[in-house]
Amino acid sequence: MSNGNFKERLEENPNYQKANAYKEKVLALGNDSLEKTIAVALALCFVCAILVSFAAVALRPLQIENKALDMKKNILEVAGLLDEGTDINQAFSDQIEEKLVDIETGDYIDDMDVVTYDQRKAAKDPSQNINISTEDDIASIKRKAKIAKVYLVKSGDVIESIILPMHGYGLWSTMYGFLALESDGQTVKSINFYDQAETPGLGGEVVNPNWRALWKGKKVYSESGDVKLGLIKGVVDTSKPGSEYDVDGLAGATLTSLGVSNLVKYWMSNQGFSAYLDKVRIEGEG
Ligand SMILES: Cc1cc2nc3c(=O)[nH]c(=O)nc-3n(C[C@H](O)[C@H](O)[C@H](O)COP(=O)(O)O)c2cc1C
């Protein structure tokens, strides 16, 4: 159909003629007229709605891609593999192995697609989650996915780092992060939080590199296997026996500090990754 034909047919359409007549009538009204003000406002809303909808739909794939890239960046960072100028996609695929783990048994799950599995979505899906009893729910998360996504850094077949996802409630928000452990499943390499909404300067200091650096070398489990790692009020006296389990609390943020201790305790306990870490330690499974 040529443009000329289309224009002619449009002009012959009775609905188009009615709309056009209405447009002429509105434009002929004075600028102070209520009808003209409302019609112009509605037309403007209509155009803006189309533009916003178009932008939302067109930018969605880019947003998903950026979110995935940001997650890879966080994992590389907590693994200590992020340098300036690192090609994130390349570094991630070269150096990080993603694995799915049955949280209860600690076994790897090999018959699911690890790349598309979304643990946060699974935690909300009744067919893929477990409700946590109030008594066990020290991290205040109510439910968790049955299957977790863990990340391994390996040298050949030997595991160098185990990166475990953790989340739990602080004061204002659920804090999502990773704990990186050495292959002994006991010594902390690093911690980070990639999604939290605690107050900047108070609880938000969970992202402060200086505070995060205090975690390096800390130990998770006591000799009897209890989770001892956690935050204390104030500054750790490193000369004190047992200080290898303690990290400085966040100044003026006692409740966020408690939230971090609780989420670490939960995810390192038998409610979280202790079964998996036992297997890694004993069987050296990777
Ligand atoms: C505006 C505002 C923001 C706060 N943000 C946090 C926060 O992010 N994390 C936190 O633990 N406490 C925060 N607090 C402090 C808590 O309300 C509470 O006083 C504190 O955690 C208790 O610690 P304390 O026993 O050392 O006083 C905030 C307080 C105010 C007034």
Centre of ligand 1 to C-alpha 165, Å, is: 26
pLDDT of 216: 98
pLDDT of 23: 86
pLDDT of 2: 60
Count of CB atoms within 10 A of residue 26's CB?
15
Contact 35, 26 (CB under 8 A): yes
Which residue, chain included where needed, has tokens 């783990």?
101
Which residue, chain included where needed, has tokens 């990290």?
247
Query: What number does the ligand 1 atom closest to the CA of 252 have?
Result: 26
Which secondary-structure segment (H or E) carries 46? Answer: helix 34-78
**What tokens does 220 get?**
């998770």
Q: What is the pLDDT along the chain (286 residues), one digit of tens a residue?
A: 566 788 889 889 999 999 889 888 888 888 888 888 888 899 899 999 999 998 989 999 899 999 999 999 999 999 999 988 899 999 999 999 999 999 999 999 999 999 999 999 999 999 999 999 999 999 999 999 999 999 999 988 899 999 999 999 999 999 999 999 999 999 999 999 999 999 999 999 999 999 999 999 999 999 999 999 999 999 999 999 999 999 999 999 999 999 999 999 999 999 999 999 999 987 665 5
pLDDT of 123: 97
pLDDT of 34: 87
Length of the chain: 286
Contact 139, 167 (CB under 8 A): yes
Contact 278, 108 (CB under 8 A): no
d(CA 169, CA 165): 14
Name the CA radius of gyration of the chain, rounded.
Answer: 27
How far does CA 219 lie from the centroid of its chain? 25
d(CA 243, CA 219): 9
DSSP 8-state code for residue 228:
-
Centre of ligand 1 to C-alpha 256, Å, is: 8
Query: What number does the ligand 1 atom closest to the CA of 198 have?
Result: 8
48 Cβ contact partners less than 8 Å away, ≥ 6 residues apart: none
Alpha helix ranges (H) inside 112-195: 119-122
d(CA 237, CA 229): 15
- For residue 5, count CB atoms less than 10 angstroms from its CB and return exposed for 0-12, middle for 13-18, buried for 19 or more: exposed
DSSP 8-state code for residue 252:
T
Centre of ligand 1 to C-alpha 252, Å, is: 6
The residue whose C-alpha atom lies closest to atom 25 belonging to ligand 1 is: 254
Ligand 1 — pocket residues by CB below 6 A?
A: 171-172, 198-199, 202-203, 253-256
Contact 158, 242 (CB under 8 A): no
Contact 128, 146 (CB under 8 A): yes
Query: What number does the ligand 1 atom closest to the CA of 172 have?
Result: 8
- For residue 31, count CB atoms less than 10 angstroms from its CB and return exposed for 0-12, middle for 13-18, buried for 19 or more: exposed
DSSP 8-state code for residue 246:
E
pLDDT of 1: 53
The residue whose C-alpha atom lies closest to atom 7 belonging to ligand 1 is: 203
Centre of ligand 1 to C-alpha 198, Å, is: 9
- For residue 209, count CB atoms less than 10 angstroms from its CB and return exposed for 0-12, middle for 13-18, buried for 19 or more: exposed
Beta strands (DSSP E) in 187-280 are 188-195, 230-232, 246-248
